Chain A
Amino acid sequence: MNNKLYGNLIFELSHSGRRAYSLPENQFGHHTLPDFCKREKDAELPECDEMTVVRHYTNHSENNFGVDNGFYPLGSCTMKYNPVINEEVASMASFTDLHPHQPIETVQGALEVEYNIQRALASITGMADVTLNPYAGAHGELTGLMLIASYHQQRGDKKRTKVIVPDSAHGTNPASAAVCGLEIVEVKSTSDGLVDVNDLRPLLGDDIAGMMMTNPNTLGLFEKDIPEIAKLIHECGGLLYYDGANLNPLLGAARPGDMGFDVIHLNLHKTFSTPHGGGGPGAGPVGVCEKLIPFLPKPHVSKTKDGFVIEDSENTEEFSTANIRISGYLGNFLVILRAYTYILTLGKKHIKEVGPFATLSANYIKECLKDDYELPIDTLCKHEFVFDGLKDKSTGVTTMDVAKRLLDYGYHAPTIYFPLLFHEAMMIEPTETESKDTIDGFIEVMHIIAKEARENPELVKGAPYNTPIGRVDDVLAAKHPILTYRQLINDTEESV
């Protein structure tokens, strides 16, 4: 990473008349577009030569920090190594050049990938079947909730419109429930950071569609009462939803299906190593128990004696609980292909080491740092844990300051100010792919920052210094939104 801001926009490098493309000569004769549908003004896209474009984006990349650059202890995001072989496989022309409407006999290899990973994910999670169609984690949540709602609707159980969500849940949980037309009921956490079963009981009734849980939860704690919670939810007629954001520590240790979850989603871009790509694309497969199989979204891949087939509805344009459609095709196939490569590279033996190693590393960091940082719940964690800022609050140095100072030392910041249960939350997740050397380096820097905070707090409050830019004015961005280059130009002209 370069610590000097490059800062140009491609539009600012544009010169009328330059070009970066070449196309074959038109051999088809000119055909005229009718006047009624012609655009009046050209889109003002850049005009650059090829090398200018290459340098521009190369320079931008050098103002970015990825997992390949350094340690990324971003809690709940599972920033593990993204294997290079995944990229090689996902760029094979025999997969990238397939049209989604090709006849199935011409895409048997692709369907085999989809079918095999459906089975692999079902086995890893203890579920009966899996759909690969959801495009992201939040999309998986929405899909899972649609299946829960359909299950109740199909049974004529129309009163069930409420979903229970713990106060520690990711923001996507209540947001997905709202998109699905369900009401949210919040259940509190105990002082131990777990779902309060006593607070849960009175919420249960014949209006509960289900409950969403993350296990381990967003504090990195295993919800050990899960068998009882599952029993309570099932007894009241609800279904239990598993948010797979934190599945990583459970590889080799426990399966959501065995805990009593009825429907789950996975984040292939977290647990299964596909690159985050600056925010996407991800993939959010959904696994279900036996009784929810009839509601799985269409289309869906299955295996017959004659090969792999795509199950679909007779009339794809009519909604029914047997024709839930949440995607154009069979999901983010090339992302799924990467995840499958990862699973095969680890294989059945090594995949079981992922959870324990990730958990060991998180506990090790926690133990090494809890003298300097406030650990509100001092217990075994799973893949991540949450500090409530520095232990010494007298210096006025905040979690934000520590996070920014970390950037100076070449580390990505942890997730900060989430979960909302603590004011100065700092959520640290190391993942199993970081070596002890890297982790020890991080621990040392965290100690140095704590020392700086005691001895020279202003230094930490002014961080970062070694990054391409300083802290940004978020208020200005929101108060006076400039969202396009055209707006930027107009704004500059106005102020001149």
Chain B
Amino acid sequence: MIHKFLPHTSEDIQQMLERVGIKNLNELYAEVPESIRFKGDYDLPDTMSELEIRKFFEKLGQKNNKLTCFAGGGVYDHYAPSVINHLLSRSEFLTSYTPYQAEISQGTLHYIFEFQSMMAELTGMDIANASMYEGTTATAEAMMVAFDNAKKADTVLYSETLCKDIIGVLKTYAHFHGIKLEAIKAVDGVTSHADLEARMQEGGVAGVIVQQPNRYGIIEDFTGFADTCHDKKALFIINSVTADLALLKTPKEWNADIAVGDIQSLGLPMGFGGPYAGYMCSTEKLMRKLPGRIVGKTVDSRGQRVFALTLQAREQHIRRQKATSNICSNQSLMALYATIYMSIMGKEGLKEAAQISYDAAHYLCEQLLNSKRVKLVYDKPFFNEFLVHVEDRDKFFNKAIQQGILPGIKVDDDKLLIAVTEKRTKEEIDTLVGLL
């Protein structure tokens, strides 16, 4: 029986074989040594019809619990306007390739230019690339930009207040790329400026990486950090939660050289970890050191303003081992997601959603503290996520799960990292508090 994805009829096959001058499909592999021909069966189920596929995945889906989400840790349950998925399903976007043929890819090239523009606005930086895989690897790429940018320095410093997922990835990349990676101490939940200064005095530092808000949700004060870095010619790199930048002081205002992070907080589905997309923005000075795709304005033969992939001399398909990075795929469709999100929410909506998240998180925190069974681990300003000690944490956690609530992420044996977005209602928050 012929399969719906495979249009070759036996008549087609016969005609094509004749034109090629062979007798059967087997002869197409005549040069493949007999010893390595695959003659068995794959360990797979039989073909499923569309109805069976639907039932199969409905059943699998039922083995997951959809929970009211108070977890963050880098992935947030923000509101997604319905327009986004509607537009994302346009197959001209969905099924196109990287826009190498600019003449038939102006849709992709325009939205990538918009994405770069919006990310530059949010971070305050001069320029942006056309997206990275996601936040942890984007941070690792920034580390490598700093390392490659330095003439002699071989060390990159990272704050202990980075999310542990990011630290794990940084350590791996640093190990193989030959970068010495050292921690800057955290004191009272924030990066120690004194420790940074002391370490910088020892020399050999190419870059310094911090996070805002940090792994505990705390908003850090980076006053003086950039100067400390720049005095010793090190790059200052800030990883930020994108959505929070609508209100927070920008990486540019902290005088950073590179801004990186994940754009998941721009309404992207949590999707059990991906796909998301990362961003990397920088000063103009670092333009030719950036990894990944970049789109720029130009003109066509008819004198029209058009857009095209540019600065490709940095990239692997031209420079091979001398490229700034091995990155080839970007996360174009997720960049489109974020671009439409930012177009819909706009200048005011992004601020409003961030403010509601901020207010809702503070409201929840106040309610929890009132109970006396919960204590803040660090008494520091936070944005929409905070770390608390909870009495009988596991009991509380399990009770919440049973009620269909994910009350946060467990940290150590007794703490809970709780995040709130504009999506959470007062009723949901009060229900969570009621479980204490």
Contact = CB atoms under 8 A, between A and B. Distances in A.
Contacts of A174: 316, 320-321
B37 A253 contact: yes
Contact of B165 (A259, A329, A436): A329
A351 B124 CA distance: 49
Interface string A87-112: 11101111111111111001111101
Contacts of B166: 328
Interface stretch (B127-135, B200-208, B368-376): B127-135
Nearest to A334: B271
A40 B249 contact: yes
A136 B108 contact: no
Nearest to B26: A356
Given A61-B90, A146-B176, A102 B71 contact: yes
Choose among B106, B134, B348, B409 the residue with the greatest number of A CB atoms under 10 Å from its CB.
Answer: B106
Interface in A30-89: 30-31, 33-34, 36-48, 50, 53-54, 56-58, 60-69, 72, 74, 77, 79, 81-83, 85, 87-89
A202 interface: no
A68 B253 contact: no
Interface stretch (A234-242, A312-320, A450-458): A312-320
Contacts of A29: 359, 363
Contact of A66 (B94, B103, B247, B253): B94
Given A93-B66, A278-B108, A333 B272 contact: yes
Given A141-B326, A275-B95, A319-B172, A329 B6 contact: no
A364 to B, nearest CB: 4
A172 to B, nearest CB: 5
A100 B332 contact: no
B291 to A, nearest CB: 10
B92 A276 contact: no
Contacts of B219: 34, 37
A85 B6 contact: no
Interface in B32-51: 32-33, 35-38, 41-48, 50
A258 B171 contact: no
A30 B108 CA distance: 40
Interface string B3-21: 1011110001101110111
Contact of B245 (A43, A47, A66, A124): A43
A283 B133 CA distance: 10
Contact of A58 (B90, B168, B178): B90
Choose among B89, B93, B172 the residue with the greatest number of A CB atoms under 10 Å from its CB.
Answer: B172
Interface in B169-200: 169, 171-178
Contact of A222 (B31, B126, B287, B346): B31
A360 interface: yes
Contacts of B43: 119-120, 123, 348
Contact of A91 (B75, B85, B171, B328): B85
B165 A412 contact: no
A79 B96 CA distance: 9
B114 A328 contact: no
Contacts of A214: none
Interface residues of B, number: 200
B5 A28 contact: no
B6 A404 contact: no
Given A23-B422, A280-B333, A478 B313 contact: yes
A259 B37 CA distance: 9
A287 interface: no
A113 B59 CA distance: 12
A130 interface: no
Contacts of B15: 436
A184 interface: yes
Given A39-B250, A68-B91, A486 B121 contact: yes
Contact of A38 (B99, B249, B315, B425): B249
B97 A346 contact: no
A327 B301 CA distance: 43
B430 to A, nearest CB: 10
B152 interface: no
A95 B9 CA distance: 37
Contacts of B319: 171, 175
B393 to A, nearest CB: 13
A115 to B, nearest CB: 11
Contacts of A348: 41-47
Contact of B164 (A317, A464, A481): A317
Nearest to A463: B103
B6 A354 contact: yes
Contacts of B63: 108-109, 112
A464 B296 contact: no
Nearest to B13: A360
A324 interface: yes
A473 to B, nearest CB: 5
A75 to B, nearest CB: 11
B120 A486 contact: yes
B265 interface: no
A433 B253 CA distance: 52
Nearest to B28: A359
B48 A344 contact: yes
Interface in B109-154: 110-114, 116-118, 120-122, 124, 126-128, 130-131, 133-137, 144
B105 A316 contact: no
A442 B192 CA distance: 64
Contacts of B360: 28
B228 interface: no
A93 B272 CA distance: 11
Contacts of A33: 247-248, 358, 381
Contacts of A138: 316, 326-329
Interface in A114-135: 119-120, 123-124, 126, 135
A222 B311 CA distance: 34
A26 interface: yes
Contact of A178 (B124, B172, B322): B322
B362 interface: yes
A468 B105 CA distance: 9
Choose among B81, B85, B105, B305 the residue with the greatest number of A CB atoms under 10 Å from its CB.
Answer: B105
Interface in A275-334: 275-283, 298, 316-319, 323-334
B171 A278 contact: no
A436 B73 CA distance: 51
A203 interface: no
Contact of A488 (B5, B297, B300, B425): B297
A249 to B, nearest CB: 8
Contact of A57 (B38, B46, B171, B340): B340
A42 B351 contact: yes
A27 B104 CA distance: 48
Interface in B328-342: 328-334, 336, 339-340, 342
A31 B366 CA distance: 11
B325 A175 contact: yes
B99 to A, nearest CB: 7
Choose among A20, A269, A472 the residue with the greatest number of B CB atoms under 10 Å from its CB.
Answer: A472
A167 B409 CA distance: 49
A1 interface: yes
A422 interface: no
A280 B98 CA distance: 8
B344 interface: yes
A436 B16 contact: yes
A23 B330 contact: no
Given A97-B270, A486-B121, A327 B171 contact: no
Interface string A349-365: 11111101101110110
Given A53-B343, A279-B329, 15 more contacts: A7-B110, A33-B381, A61-B93, A66-B94, A101-B73, A171-B328, A175-B326, A179-B176, A253-B32, A277-B93, A277-B333, A280-B332, A328-B274, A379-B31, A484-B117
17 contacts: A30-B355, A41-B124, A45-B118, A50-B83, A53-B83, A109-B60, A112-B60, A278-B93, A280-B131, A281-B133, A319-B171, A348-B46, A367-B19, A367-B20, A413-B101, A482-B297, A484-B121
